[in-house]
Amino acid sequence: MSKHEGDLNIIEQAARVCVQAHGGQVRKGDGQPYLVHPVMVALKLAQHGFPDAVIAAVLVHDVLEDTDYPEERFRAELGDEVYTIVKAVTHNESLPWEEKKMQYIEQVRKGTEGAKAIAIADKIHNLESLFLAHAEQGVEVWKRFNRGKEKKLWFEQEVLEMLKETWPHPLVDEYARLLEKEKNLE
């Protein structure tokens, strides 16, 4: 196990950053504590045997994008490897939506195996959460997405195609099955 910040394991350090950065946030749509999301994605990757740096990165994968946690502090506390992985899965919020999504796909395409794993496990958990929300809210669930169902499906399909081309892993097949299920939702 890699160590960082004194005697703290890199995963524990990442968990601490996650709690500091996301502590009071809730997920849009279901109002659940945001912290559940990175933990569930981390568990999925841990089940597939990914190394500590990837598990640490997944715990903080939305920190740079969705919080005001200082980037310099993030890098100092978690190191270059975690920082590089997270940067590959961070959207550039200054760009228009479609351009931002295409840039994200290219960043993940050029990223490490860890970046690809985080991208797909994140999308899988988001879909699992969507299915639960859809069961409760029905078609109203689509209103929480900025560009609606069609553009959401377009983006997810583009991510799937890129991963099929660049990363042979069982998570890609799982994601493909979930996308088919999503396409059939009203």
Residues noted as catalytic? 65-66
What percent of the chain is modeled with pLDDT above 90? 82
Q: Is the pLDDT of residue 177 over 90?
A: yes
Among residues 147, 131, 145, 144, the alpha carbon closest in space to that of 186 is found at 131
Strand partners, 9: 3
Q: Distance of alpha carbon 9 from its chain centroid, rounded?
A: 22
Residues found in the chain: 186
Pair 137, 22: CB distance under 8 Å: no
Residue 100, Ramachandran bin (φ over 0: left; ψ between -120 and 50: alpha; else beta)? alpha
pTM of the model: 0.92
Structure tokens at 172: 């890609």
Distance in angstroms (rounded) separating the CA atoms of residues 141 and 137: 6
For 114-168, how does the pLDDT look when each residue is reduced to its tens digit (9 = 90+)?
999 999 999 999 999 999 999 998 998 888 888 889 999 999 999 999 999 999 9
Structural domains of the chain sorted by starting position, each given as residue range(s) with its CATH number in brackets: 10-183 (1.10.3210.10)
Q: What is the DSSP string of 93-114?
A: TTS-HHHHHHHHHHHHHHS-HH
Long-range Cβ pairs for the range 98-101 (8 Å, 24+): 98/151, 101/155, 101/158
For 32-52, how does the pLDDT look when each residue is reduced to its tens digit (9 = 90+)?
899 999 999 999 999 999 999
